[in-house]
């Protein structure tokens, strides 16, 4: 970990690989008057909108919608089974299991044609008092149990003992995008009317604690976090059903789940503050987390060490090395496919556009993990067997 002083504010960075745009965004974050204590940057850092992905921002009395992002509640879940991967015939894997998952779970921009049962939606929220969520209750019945696009994935994996695992990366679908955009726009308008000292050019408009708008965002954000979990849980249930149809007698351990795009009210260095994790995972002491690699590389089940300097956080994955457009433009499809097929991984790279999610577009997950061994300890290393990308 390296400490930099930027605009007289300390920034703790767990990598020496930070792209120029991300570094500019880090500098912008240090100008926020409500920034608390220091800024923490994880080893998977790369540029985002307003705030870099892989950043942890603690604030005094304010929430910043763009410091959470638009895929609110996006995260990981994983399940271990009692089945050995070596006992699954390749044809069963390809034609029954992978095909069955694709039939049950809409990918990319696709939604369910038929509404899903409302029992799958979050409970315990006052939806009638919300703005965006209230108006999306019918739409999200088609979105629940769907993967989404971009870097979202379903992956079958194996551990060192050849046990089959299932891992899912997905979020709150269009709901989170609409909530994030609505409240960022609202914050921008309010900041302009207040003649806020936060420049609109850095895209970090905020909502102060105690305002009606803060409370509105906070409640809708929490709903999106819960919706994202419900979304992952429904997909996992259906994947388990597909596996049970093909692998008679398979059993599953309880699901591990953790989000990496949200804000939380926490106590750090003796003060209650609002911690934003944007592409960062909670790593409080003893908490089980998930740090996935890129397509074709290892993923990790980890345990948090509770390092206060990171606000008890760690990376959320490998982190992009190339932008999507740069990956499509510069990576060699033959070489990227060869990497996967040499490992016997069932994959979905079919054309040049698919290279935006190739392993060559991402940082080395082994290096990322090595850079944060003061934040987490590794519990399980998982290797990919088959992957479905959104």
CB 39 within 8 A of CB 26: yes
Find the catalytic residue in 37, 38, 46, 316: 316
Cβ atoms 44, 363 nearer than 8 A: yes
Measured between alpha carbons, how far is residue 106 from residues 102, 109, 150, 155, 232 in Å? 7, 8, 14, 15, 13
The angle at the Cα of 30, spanning 46 to 184, to the nearest 5 degrees, equals 70
| Catalytic-residue membership of 316 | yes
- The distance of Cα 198 from the centroid of its chain, to the nearest Å, equals 27
* Residue 14: HSE in the Cβ half-sphere, 13 Å Cα cutoff: 31
Ordered strands of the 9-13 beta sheet: 2-6, 9-13, 35-46, 53-59, 271-278, 261-268
| CA atoms of 236 and 105, how far apart (whole Å) | 10
Q: Cα separation of 88 and 249, whole Å?
A: 13
Q: Which residues pair with 39 in a beta bridge?
A: 11, 57
In Å, how far are 78, 175, 298 from 137, measured between CA atoms? 27, 9, 37
Cβ partners under 8 Å of residue 95, min gap 6: none
Spatial distance between the Cα atoms of 3 and 188, rounded to a whole number of angstroms: 31
Alpha carbons 197 and 180: distance in angstroms, whole number: 22
Whether the CB-CB separation of 67 and 204 falls below 8 Å is answered with yes
Report the C-alpha gap between 361 and 355 in whole angstroms: 8
**Measured distance CA(150)–CA(295) in Å, rounded:** 12
Quick check: 77 and 292 in contact, CB under 8 A?
no
Q: What number of other Cβ atoms are within 10 A of residue 267's Cβ?
A: 9
Query: Which positions are catalytic?
Result: 316
């Amino acid at each position: 970990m390296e400490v930099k002083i930027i605009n007289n504010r300390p920034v703790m960075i767990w990598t020496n690989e930070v792209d120029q745009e991300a570094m500019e965004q880090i500098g912008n974050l240090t100008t926020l008057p409500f920034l608390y204590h220091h800024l923490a940057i994880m080893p998977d850092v790369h540029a985002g909108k307003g705030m870099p992905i892989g950043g942890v921002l603690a604030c005094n009395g304010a929430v910043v919608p763009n410091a959470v992002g638009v895929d609110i509640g996006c995260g990981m879940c994983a399940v271990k089974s009692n089945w050995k991967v070596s006992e699954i015939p390749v044809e069963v894997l390809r034609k029954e299991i992978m095909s069955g998952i694709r039939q049950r779970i809409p990918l990319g921009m696709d939604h369910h044609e038929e509404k899903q049962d409302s029992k799958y939606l979050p409970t315990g929220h006052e939806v009638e008092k919300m703005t965006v969520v209230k108006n999306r209750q019918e739409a999200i019945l088609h979105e629940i149990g769907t993967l989404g696009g971009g870097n979202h994935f379903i992956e079958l994996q194996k551990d060192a003992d050849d046990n089959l695992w299932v891992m899912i990366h997905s979020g709150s679908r269009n709901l989170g995008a609409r909530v994030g955009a609505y409240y960022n726009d609202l914050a921008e308008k309010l900041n302009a009317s207040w003649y806020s000292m936060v420049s609109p050019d850095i895209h970090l408009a905020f909502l102060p604690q105690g305002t009606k708008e803060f409370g509105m965002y906070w409640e809708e954000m929490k709903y999106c976090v819960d919706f994202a979990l419900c979304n992952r849980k429904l997909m996992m249930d259906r994947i388990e059903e597909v596996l049970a149809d093909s692998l008679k007698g398979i059993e599953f351990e309880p699901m591990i789940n953790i989000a990496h795009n949200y804000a939380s009210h926490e106590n750090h260095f003796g003060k209650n503050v609002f911690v934003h994790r944007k592409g960062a995972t909670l790593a409080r002491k003893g908490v089980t987390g998930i740090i996935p690699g890129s397509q074709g590389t290892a993923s990790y089940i980890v345990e948090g060490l509770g390092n206060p300097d990171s606000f008890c956080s760690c990376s959320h994955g490998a982190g992009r090395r190339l932008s999507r457009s740069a990956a499509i433009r510069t990576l060699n499809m033959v070489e990227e496919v060869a990497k996967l097929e040499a490992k016997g991984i069932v994959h979905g790279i079919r054309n040049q556009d698919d290279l935006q999610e190739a392993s060559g577009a991402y940082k080395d997950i082994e290096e990322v993990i090595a850079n944060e061994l003061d934040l987490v300890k590794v519990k399980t290393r998982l290797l990919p067997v088959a992957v479905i990308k959104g």
